[in-house]
Amino acid sequence: MLQVRLQAQNTRRTITAFLFLAIPLFLYLAFVIAPVFYSFYFSFTDWNGASATYHYVGLRNFQMAFHAEYFWNALKNNAIWTLIFIAFPTVLGLILAKMVDRLRGENLFKAIIYLPMTFSFVVVGLIWSWIYLPQSGMLNLALDTIGLGILKRAWLADPATVLYAIIGAAAWQQTGFAMVLYLAGLRGVPLEVLEAAQVDGANGWQEFWKIIFPLLRTTTAVVISITVINSLRVFDLVYIMTQGGPNRASEVLGSLIYKELFWNFRVGYGSALSIILFLFTLVIIIFYFRTVFKKEVEY
């Protein structure tokens, strides 16, 4: 009798858990998984997003993409974005985490550095658009103040600087996120190991490079993978600040896909571009994780 009662309780708990999960699971399938399959399907068609009919065109959309100069330009800009993001916010986040870790008043410093991450991309884009204004922007005024007025320019209107100006705004926001992840990793470093290194005569640099950094390998893998994903799917800041201009100098794959889908009404072609972006991201992440975690096992 007791066994039957316990079995009934377990069944009710299972049903209750399923009911709680059913709605979010349905929403996830409907608004995340299903659109992915729809994108795959429409990437092989010439659908314009409005007509009731469309035709199967095979790989024509993908061929058009790989033969389009503006596609390679957008991909190059994404690659530049990724390299700078790996080199700057990641490294600076690690340095700030090491500086802030176990510092007096660390919560205040962490809050200040992390604050940009709480802003939406729209807010970040507007803030930095004001900073980059040619005449009254904070950056040009600061250059004037320190006697470097010769460097003043219209940062978002100059094809030579526009992409790097937007990346600077994105890096300002991303650095705090990298710092928080590294702080969590630093808290996992055993103090006994560091004390033993100090007893053996290791200086600060040797302690960091030989002990702390190798122990942060998994954290670094997470930070870089998130950084790569964010840099490949970037759209918001580019669209808000320049819409990909001037003359496509700041165009990235995300803004190019948006324009093809919602400006030119080429849903089939835009879907093909999104699939290419998805595959690029997937290949990079799989390769990186396999490399890093293989080294982690060896280590």
Q: How does DSSP assign 28-74, residue by residue?
A: HIIIIIHHHHHHHHHTTB---SS-S---B-TTHHHHHHHT-HHHHHH
Lowest-confidence segment of 18-22, 140-144, 179-183 by average pLDDT: 18-22
User: Is residue 26 domain-shared with residue 167, that is, in the same domain?
Assistant: no
d(CA 273, CA 260): 9
Average pLDDT, the chain: 87
Q: What is the mean pLDDT of residues 156-164?
A: 94
Q: What is the mean pLDDT of residues 58-85?
A: 93
User: With b meaning 16 or more CB within 10 Å and e meaning fewer, what string describes 14-36?
Assistant: eeeeeeeeeeeeeeeeeeeeeee
pLDDT at residue 123 in the model? 93
Place of tokens 């600040």: 241
pLDDT at residue 297 in the model? 56
pLDDT at 152 over 70: yes
pLDDT at residue 92 in the model? 92
User: Is residue 122 domain-shared with residue 222, that is, in the same domain?
Assistant: yes
- pLDDT tens, residue by residue, 86-122: 888 889 999 898 888 877 777 888 888 889 999 999 9
Query: What is the share, in percent, of the chain residues with pLDDT greater than 70?
Result: 95
pLDDT at 241 over 90: yes
User: Is residue 30 domain-shared with residue 64, that is, in the same domain?
Assistant: no
User: Is residue 282 domain-shared with residue 144, that is, in the same domain?
Assistant: yes
280 falls in which pLDDT band (50, 70, 90)? Answer: confident
d(CA 262, CA 270): 9
Our count of domains for the chain comes to 2
Query: What is the share, in percent, of the chain residues with pLDDT greater than 90?
Result: 44
The runs of H, that is alpha helices, within 187-266 are: 191-199, 204-207, 213-215, 217-232, 236-241, 253-258
User: Is residue 262 domain-shared with residue 194, that is, in the same domain?
Assistant: yes
d(CA 137, CA 45): 46
User: Is residue 84 domain-shared with residue 15, that is, in the same domain?
Assistant: no
User: Is residue 137 domain-shared with residue 255, that is, in the same domain?
Assistant: yes
pLDDT at residue 218 in the model? 81
Instruction: Note whether 116 and 200 are within 8 A (CB).
Output: no
Q: What is the CATH number of the domain that holds 144?
A: 1.10.3720.10
Q: What is the pTM of this model?
A: 0.85
User: Is residue 3 domain-shared with residue 63, that is, in the same domain?
Assistant: no
User: Is residue 3 domain-shared with residue 70, that is, in the same domain?
Assistant: no
User: Is residue 167 domain-shared with residue 229, that is, in the same domain?
Assistant: yes
pLDDT at residue 292 in the model? 64
User: Is residue 59 domain-shared with residue 24, that is, in the same domain?
Assistant: no
- Domain range for residue 23? 1-34
pLDDT at residue 212 in the model? 85
User: Is residue 13 domain-shared with residue 109, that is, in the same domain?
Assistant: no
pLDDT at residue 273 in the model? 95
266 falls in which pLDDT band (50, 70, 90)? Answer: very high
pLDDT at 136 over 90: no
